[in-house]
Amino acid sequence: MQPIYLDYNATTPVDPAVAEAMQPYILHHYGNPSSTHAYGRATKEAVESARARVAALLGCAAPEVVFTSGGSESNNTVLKGVASTYRHRGHHIITSAIEHPATINPCRFLEQQGLQVTYLPVDRTGMVDPDDVRKAITPQTLLISIMHANNEVGTLQPIAEISRIARAHGVLMHTDAAQSVGKIPTLVDALGVDFLSIAGHKLYAPKGIGALYMRTGCTLEPLIHGAGHEAGRRAGTENIIFAVGLGKACEVAQADLPRYQREVRQLRDLFWQEIEKRFGDRVVLNGHPEQRLPNTLHVNFRDVIGAELLEKMPALAASTGSACHAGEISLSSVLEAMHIPPELGMGAVRFSLGRYTTRQEIEQAVGLLEQVF
């Protein structure tokens, strides 16, 4: 039997409808979208149809969507592109201490190039205080980049409020929405962002495809130079097969969003209730109790090491927020930023549910935890 999969924040399986949509472009439609003959027109139409489906999920215009290789490229494009394109206006970027490495590491690189980066703190629930954003803005600030939902603890950031602050100061706003797209509404006008990053493999599309929303009027120096693909914003012949897959994944996610939010939250809450009932004060919830992704349950198990706990349960696939090397416990940067005490954080485990999680699997997972803890 396959292990129970509760690691959907790490990656998702490809939805069968997505795989089916991709098949004709694997086997039959192989033309270059830049070609003007029938073969090229067929694939060009497929790419543009996929772009429209991504745009529909985000509530934006199709030309505002740029296909990329994934969330990391989308984040790098924004951070490095803003730093390059608008360097005449300033040299300061604001982000948070709990961002994904796909944001943190480009920021570290830009610091080496002479830019100043402010890494905002978060509270015990993993949330950024908008007042801290306001206080951090200077006349040199070019960009604020705050993730929509944290990949580890699931906390949702007040992006709309932060965007209003950014706009009031004439600062560009980016959000890494890799974890939130397809799980909660991510309408760009409601969020008020100028840029938004998507990772396909977080919403049942293949790995190696992503997208970047760029609000009309925003221009960036491309991360990848070459021919004029993607309206000159990202060179390289389009990945037709995976773009079609991402488009279909967005279409499915948009149709399924109300059901997904309702049913996966019910399963997650059931899981937490059963864990609390059995383990009481030996478990502690991480992340915001309410402003959190509906599928994410991140807990600390007291007096154990999370990695060792999972090793004892090969029938359950989940993630840990701590690591043990040579007898020393190290916490993830997210837990450290949240000021989780090491003696508590060492027992961190992230369970992330998804489209295919069942009640039976949750009940079985609780039983496995009872056996080893």
Question: Based on the number of CB atoms within 10 Å of its own CB, is 284 exposed (0-12), middle (13-18) or buried (19 or more)?
Answer: middle
Which residue matches tokens 């560009």?
Answer: 172
Rounded distance between C-alpha atoms, residue 15 and residue 273, angstroms: 29
Rounded distance between C-alpha atoms, residue 224 and residue 27, angstroms: 28
- Dump strand ranges (E) for the chain: 4-5, 65-68, 92-96, 116-120, 141-145, 172-176, 195-199, 210-214, 283-286, 296-301, 316-317, 319-320, 322-325, 328-331, 348-352
At position 80, the amino acid (one-letter code) is K
List the catalytic residue out of 60, 107, 250, 324: 324
User: Is the Cβ–Cβ distance between 160 and 184 less than 8 Å?
Assistant: no
250 is catalytic: no
Length in residues, the chain = 373
User: Is the Cβ–Cβ distance between 179 and 149 less than 8 Å?
Assistant: yes
Which residue matches tokens 């967005």?
Answer: 250
Rounded distance between C-alpha atoms, residue 294 and residue 239, angstroms: 31
For residue 231, which of 222, 240, 239 has the smallest C-alpha distance?
222
- Residues serving a catalytic function are 324
